[in-house]
């Protein structure tokens, strides 16, 4: 994969669950099953969302449910076809799409 692509970013909380397992894990599994190029989960150390409640790792303000972002990059068609999968998974959070240019994409040789 090289050239123009679309980046899907899904912002959820680490405590968000889908059938007793983390939502971010379910998104990654469904992305793999859909044949998308790859997915990465990034854990945030601080943030807030629609409720304006700050979630942080700072000791004095220690809270749970830290922010998590799932990033998936593939062709626009494949990403848009995957969006309905998120409808049932993301109750609270945000989903964004951005145009990106892939300049290098290669896997490890096994």
* pLDDT, tens digit, 9 for 90 and up, residues 51-105: 777 666 655 555 667 889 999 999 999 999 999 999 999 988 899 999 999 998 8
Residue 67 · residue 47 · CB < 8 Å: yes
The pair of three-digit structure tokens given for residue 102, joined into one six-digit string: 């892939």
This model's pTM is above 0.75: yes
- Over residues 33-42, the pLDDT tens digits come to 999 999 999 9
Mean pLDDT of the chain: 88
Domain boundaries, the chain: 3-94
- The token duo for 104 is 């290098």
3-94 under CATH 3.30.70.120, yes or no:
yes
Question: Tokens 């999968």 belong to which residue?
Answer: 85
At what angle are helices 76-87 and 23-33 packed, to 10 degrees? 140
Residues contacting 54, CB < 8 A, separation 6+? 46, 47, 48, 61, 63
The pLDDT assigned to 66 comes to 83
């Amino acid at each position: 994969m090289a050239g123009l692509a679309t980046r899907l970013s899904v912002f959820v909380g680490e405590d968000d669950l889908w059938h007793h397992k983390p939502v971010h894990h379910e998104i990654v599994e469904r992305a793999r099953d859909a044949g998308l190029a790859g997915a990465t989960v990034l854990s945030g150390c601080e943030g807030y969302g629609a409720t304006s409640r700050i979630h942080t790792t700072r000791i004095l303000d220690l809270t749970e449910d830290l922010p998590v972002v799932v990033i998936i990059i593939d062709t626009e068609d494949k990403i848009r076809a995957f969006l309905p999968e998120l409808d049932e998974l993301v109750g609270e959070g945000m989903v964004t799409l951005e145009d990106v240019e892939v300049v290098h994409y290669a896997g490890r040789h096994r």
